[in-house]
Amino acid sequence: MKLSGLDIFKYLPGAKKSLHTNCKECGCPTCMAFAIKLAQKQITYDRCKYMSEELKTLCKKNIKSPQKIVKIDGLKIGGENVLYRHEKKFINKTVLAVIVNCKTPDYKEKLKRIENFEINRVNEKMKIDLVILRNKEKHQPENLCDETVYIEEKDFLKLSIKKIEDTNFKKTVEKLVKTRTKAIIDHNEKYCDPVYVYLKSTTNKYNLCARASYYLCKYANMLVFEDFDENLFTTLMILRQNIYTDPQKPLQVEPKIYEFNNPDENSLIFITTNFALTFFAVANELENLKIPSYLVVIPACGMSVLTAFSAEKFTAKTVVKTLKKFDLLNKVKTRKIIIPGLLAHMKDDLEKSLPEFEIIVGTVEAYSIGEFVKKLI
Ligand code: SF4
């Protein structure tokens, strides 16, 4: 049973108006504040020394992960604690697995394609997580890729992972939702094994991608595909990467001056935020340009350009402060600074703050930087 703030509060001194009511020893201003934090798993129950034994028992039961974790070598499947990512975070990424039938004539070619498949996004390298070898003979095939786990199908089928057949989209979703809800909300032992959806071979790749994307969001711990399709897996991995970030910690990079292609005192200066998605989009373009440049990354709490501006984290003042902190302006002869196209309205303020510099409004999208720079130099 999931405990709400009110459920918890009933067992605390605050509800009974007894000694220690709102004593603040737990670090919260009131017992109610503590109860709400505990329900949201933002604090541990042992911070209050005065709660009833009954509540302690309930909390201990609640701490236990409602879903079991199954391990295959380094891969962890299951172990989720929440229904919604914003409640805390999802823990173990949905494993993406491919069946390889070693009795088919093209199985080696399929294995090679899986081995060669790789995505790099937001500083994360992604490969196929798991290959399930069907009908494998002893002499067949060796493990090809260190970053992928290989398992024979007969061993895979012995694992405590419940199979959900993808026969009908609506029914599959209902089963997935029911299983996760029973495990998380009711702590029902019958539903605590992680689940996988088995997706049969099909020529309708759009439909396959749509169904798999939905199952990834709600609530497959693993997706097993008969087909291997690079476009499909690229889409799913990007979706998965977005879902499995910690919503309480924005993806961010260190604010500092990044150098591309050995810049010198005459190189271009670009400015952006420390939101990881924006940073890597800009950084990839600058790297591929093969033109020496500096990228000044502003400390903006991991917010995107416009959000950071709205929150007053990316202003003319913060730009000047960052440039001074890293002493870039004394190191360069160049007198041009390129700001994000979305912050065109900041140009006047920056020119007033940095009168010796020409402030150039850059592109709105990172992919246009190449064309923009060609016209500039
Ligand atoms: Fe209430 Fe316990 Fe916190 Fe004191 S320590 S304020 S009794 S929850």
Rounded to the nearest whole angstrom, what is the distance from the C-alpha of residue 32 to the centroid of ligand 1? 9
Q: How many helices (H) and strands (E) does the chain have?
A: 14, 15
Please indicate whether residue 24, judged by its CB atom, sits closer than 6 Å to ligand 1. yes
Distance 19 CA to ligand 1 centre (A): 10
Mean pLDDT of 354-361: 93
The 10s digit of each residue's pLDDT in 301-340 is 999 999 999 999 999 999 999 999 998 888 899 889 999 9
The packing angle between helices 205-217 and 230-243, to 10°, is 20
Ligand 1 near 33 CB (within 6 A): no
What Rg, from alpha-carbon coordinates, does the chain have?
A: 26
What per-residue confidence (pLDDT) applies to 1?
60
Cβ atoms < 10 Å from Cβ of 257: 17
Of the listed ranges 24-28, 243-247, 314-318, 321-325, the least confidently predicted one is 243-247
297 ligand 1 Cβ < 6 A: no
Q: Provide the CA 63 distance to its chain's centre, in angstroms.
A: 23
Decide: 18 and 11 in contact? Cβ < 8 Å. Answer: no
101 pLDDT band, cuts 50/70/90, is very high
Strands 293-298 and 257-260: antiparallel
Which atom of ligand 1 is found nearest the CA of 29?
A: 6
Distance (Å) from CA 59 to ligand 1 centroid: 15
Region 113-126 average pLDDT: 91
What's the distance, CA 327 to chain centroid?
A: 34
Q: 132 CA distance to ligand 1 centroid (A)?
A: 52
Residue nearest to atom 3 of ligand 1 (CA): 26
- For 2-11, 214-223, 286-295, which range has the lowest pLDDT when averaged over its residues? 2-11
* Res 140 pLDDT > 80: no
Share of the chain above pLDDT 90, in %: 72
The CB of 341 under 6 Å from ligand 1? The reply is: no
- Whose Cα sits closest to atom 8 in ligand 1? 31
Nearest-atom number in ligand 1 for the CA of 34 is 8
**196: nearest Cα among 219, 168, 229:** 219
For residue range 33-92, list pLDDT tens digits in order.
Answer: 999 988 877 888 899 999 988 888 888 776 666 789 999 998 999 999 888 888 778 889
Checking if the pLDDT of 278 tops 80, the result is yes
Pocket test for ligand 1, best of 10, 17, 19, 22 (most atoms within 8 A of CB): 22
Indicate if ligand 1 lies below 6 Å from the C-beta of 16. no
Q: Identify the residue whose C-alpha is closest to ligand 1 atom 4.
A: 23
Q: 42 Cβ partners below 8 Å, 6+ apart?
A: none
Q: Where does the pLDDT of residue 123 fall: very low under 50, low under 70, confident under 90, or very high at 90 and above? A: confident
Ligand 1 binding pocket includes 55 (Cβ within 6 Å): no
Per-residue pLDDT at 65: 64
Distance CA 103, CA 89 (A): 41
**What's the confidence (pLDDT) of residue 63?**
64
Which atom of ligand 1 lies at the shortest distance from residue 21's CA?
7
